[in-house]
Amino acid sequence: MKAHLALLTASVAVVANADPWATRYAECGTLRVTNLASAPFPHPQRAEGHRYKDKVYPAEPHYRDSTVAIFIPKGLRVGRTVDFVVHFHGWNNHVESVLGQFKLIEQLAESRRNAVLVVPQGPRDAPDSFGGKLEDRDGFQRFMTDVLAALKADPRFAEAKLGRIILSGHSGGYHVIAFILARGGLAEHVKEVWLFDALYGQTEKFAAWLGNSQGRLAAIYTDGGGTKAETEKWMTDLRVKGTALLAGNDREAKAAELRRNRLVFLHTDLGHDDVLAQRRTFRTFLETSCLEPIGAGQTWK
């Protein structure tokens, strides 16, 4: 175990020092960029790469990147447990770009929520929704165990255990979330799911999770992103079953309504790549979530 922690600590230090983008967010907190063996890739199902339509995306560079970004906001209270928001990106993207394009770190800092943000690298710059090892049975549990071990390199996290987990996904990120809910191994810790124009399918897995938990699901969907039909079909099915839900648009939804409702579906006139940041919807979901605000107590400095 000590050797494992030492390896994680060394990995964090080396990568963080080597990549200047890891220092861009110093005003908001501490960004650690590391590589974890339990990260989505590499994975045997993509050992030979992946074909989409008439193009092959080879394993190198698309399926061998085990980068994981871990962001600790300023003022984070470290107690017996640590809460996490784990965000999964969509097609044709990578971690550095995701953080810059969608302002995830800035929005977490603005929300003043007491949680650590984790962004693993999925298929790198490839049109693919596969979540690699995180779709394997108990793969998410192994991943979060390693994330927590990386944090424990700092003594302030030494006794901390996993707390509440929020799963957030944009676009193709829905796929890995669905499989995490179905067989990831930490169902009792997952308290919320956020889908940012991301409900393309696997709806039965989201429905099963809702039926077996008291969790909250919030989804925002567009006219042109390809999720409208599936999202509205699920809303209709829920209504037929008498399930209470909030259906509205993102411009008019009130914070109190978002907090009060367990199922939230927001239609937007934004474009597919604008749903996270243009109206600070990621921050809104944070502010209306189960996460506590940062306040007095033991803090990260």
Query: In this structure, what CATH number is given to the domain that contains residue 178?
Result: 3.40.50.1820
Assign 18 a pLDDT band (cuts: 50, 70, 90): very low
Which position has the higher pLDDT, 168 or 157? 168
| CA gap 9, 93 in Å, rounded | 26
Tell me the mean pLDDT in the region 99-115. 97
Residue among 117, 119, 128 nearest 63 (CA): 128
pLDDT at 301 over 80: no
pLDDT at 188 over 70: yes
State the pLDDT at residue 298: 38
pLDDT at 16 over 70: no
Tell me the mean pLDDT in the region 100-128. 97
Query: Tens digit of pLDDT for each residue in 138-155?
Result: 999 999 999 999 998 888
Query: Tens digit of pLDDT for each residue in 198-235?
Result: 999 999 999 999 999 999 999 999 999 999 999 999 99
101 within some domain: yes
Beta-bridge mates of residue 113: 293
State the pLDDT at residue 296: 39
32 within some domain: yes
Tell me the mean pLDDT in the region 94-108. 97
State the pLDDT at residue 6: 41
Distance of CA 163 to the CA centre of its chain: 15
116 within some domain: yes
Tell me the mean pLDDT in the region 185-198. 96
Q: 13-22, 68-77, 211-220: which range is least confident on average?
A: 13-22
State the pLDDT at residue 153: 83
Q: Tally the C-alpha atoms within 13 A of residue 138's C-alpha that lie toward its C-beta.
A: 2
Tally of domains in the chain: 1
Please give the residue range of the domain that contains residue 222.
2-287
Residue 35 φ then ψ, to 5°: -125, 130
State the pLDDT at residue 114: 96
Tell me how crowded residue 189 is: count the other CB atoms within 10 A of its CB. 19
Contact criterion met (CB below 8 Å) for 86 and 148: no
Tell me the mean pLDDT in the region 65-93. 95
The three-point CA angle 168-173-179 to 5° equals 90
55 within some domain: yes
Assign 79 a pLDDT band (cuts: 50, 70, 90): confident
Which position has the higher pLDDT, 11 or 285? 285
Tell me the mean pLDDT in the region 53-78. 96
294 within some domain: no
298 within some domain: no
Kindly state the helix (H) or strand (E) to which residue 273 belongs, with its residue range.
Answer: none
Tell me the mean pLDDT in the region 100-108. 97
Query: Tens digit of pLDDT for each residue in 238-279?
Result: 999 999 999 999 999 999 999 999 999 999 999 999 999 999
State the pLDDT at residue 233: 97
